[in-house]
């Protein structure tokens, strides 16, 4: 059975604001994807969220939350004096969200500082997932170390999935983001970009141009998401657009792309072809955007396992 590892930052999420009252949860792009992978995979599948955690009560609560939902933390270190990052979601009338972040003291920024711990966490994984946000929160040396460990795991036959998830405010410069994300393309076997992000960072004119550019870095499987539109699925030299099965008015688009990624990867691990996996991913994301917050209860997805 494939062991799944996701690398990144688990944050405290404040959502569902009602006056001065907020609902607290835990989320983060790579955690969201792993959440849906866990929910849509057989119960015997091992899953680990690889990060670094603080030694405060909220960090201990995070680890307990993950373990209560069948997600381990492998050899993730606990960093003295650090705490989780925090973000708050505000929504407009169309369900589109904006975020305010407080993450300067986040323990996850040190997730690649202990080379041996990170290598141990990834050892034996069948699927490794990470994102551009994972890269952006690290300093350049730690970022390079992370990519070298991921490449070593890929060379040991792990599948490596990467979502560039470009967030300009996290990067020192556009050039730095372009360079780091290009290196991550090289490390990956599956790339799951969002077209708007790729257009903003690289100037791609169409999803087809995104596929053409990323192909040169080596990944054989590329799925370009386009918000609520069709996903362009490109495997080797063939590509097809897979449209959502229905148009949905979103309640909250938080976690839409992350849940798409998790569902797509779960379907691929279950042996489904890429186009079928993309259609399944659309269906799962369609359920998620009718729910407030990034994480829906796992029990709502058990019957949907591919």
Residues with active-site annotation? 258
CA distances from 43 to 3, 70, 292 (A): 12, 9, 26
Q: Checking DSSP bridges between strand 86-91 and strand 11-18, what pairing results, if any?
A: parallel
The residues with which 54 forms a beta bridge, in sequence order, are 79
Q: What one-character DSSP code corresponds to residue 173?
A: -
CA distances from 54 to 11, 59, 113, 256 (A): 11, 5, 14, 28
Q: What one-character DSSP code corresponds to residue 284?
A: H
Choose among 173, 176, 107: nearest CA to 184.
176
CA distances from 47 to 2, 10, 140, 180, 248 (A): 9, 15, 27, 26, 31
Backbone angles phi and psi of 298, in degrees to 5: -60, -30
Residue 107 region, left (φ>0) first, then alpha (ψ -120 to 50), else beta?
A: alpha
Question: Rounded to 5 degrees, what angle do the CA atoms 78, 81, 87 make?
Answer: 85
Q: In whole angstroms, give the CA distance from residue 251 to residue 144.
A: 38
Helix, strand, or coil here: 59?
A: helix
């Amino acid at each position: 059975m494939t062991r799944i590892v996701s690398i990144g930052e688990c944050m405290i999420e404040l959502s569902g604001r009602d006056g001065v009252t907020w609902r607290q949860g835990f989320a983060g792009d790579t955690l969201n994807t792993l959440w849906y992978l866990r929910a849509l995979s057989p119960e015997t599948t091992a899953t680990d969220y690889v990060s670094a955690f603080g030694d405060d009560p909220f960090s201990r609560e995070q680890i307990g939350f993950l373990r209560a939902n069948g997600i381990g933390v492998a050899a993730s270190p606990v960093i003295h004096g650090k705490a989780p990052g925090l973000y708050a979601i505000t929504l407009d009338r169309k369900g589109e969200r904006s975020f305010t972040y407080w993450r300067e003291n986040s323990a996850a920024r040190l997730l690649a500082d202990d080379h041996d711990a990170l290598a141990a966490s990834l050892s034996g994984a069948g699927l490794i997932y990470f994102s551009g946000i994972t890269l952006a929160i690290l300093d350049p040396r730690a970022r390079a170390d992370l990519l070298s460990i991921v490449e070593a795991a890929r060379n040991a036959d792990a599948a490596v999935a990467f979502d560039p998830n470009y967030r300009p405010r996290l990067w020192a410069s556009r050039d730095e983001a372009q360079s780091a994300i290009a290196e991550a393309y090289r490390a990956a076997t599956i790339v799951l970009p969002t077209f708007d992000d790729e257009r903003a960072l690289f100037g791609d004119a169409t999803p087809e141009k995104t596929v053409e550019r990323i192909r040169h870095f080596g990944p054989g499987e590329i799925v370009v998401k386009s918000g609520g539109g069709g996903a362009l699925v490109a495997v080797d030299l063939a590509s097809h657009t897979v449209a959502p099965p229905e148009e949905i008015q979103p309640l909250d688009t938080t976690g839409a792309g992350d849940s798409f990624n998790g569902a797509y990867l779960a379907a691929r691990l279950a042996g489904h072809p890429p186009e079928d996996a993309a259609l399944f991913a659309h269906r799962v994301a369609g359920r998620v955007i009718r729910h407030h917050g990034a994480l829906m209860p796992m029990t709502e997805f058990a019957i949907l396992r591919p």
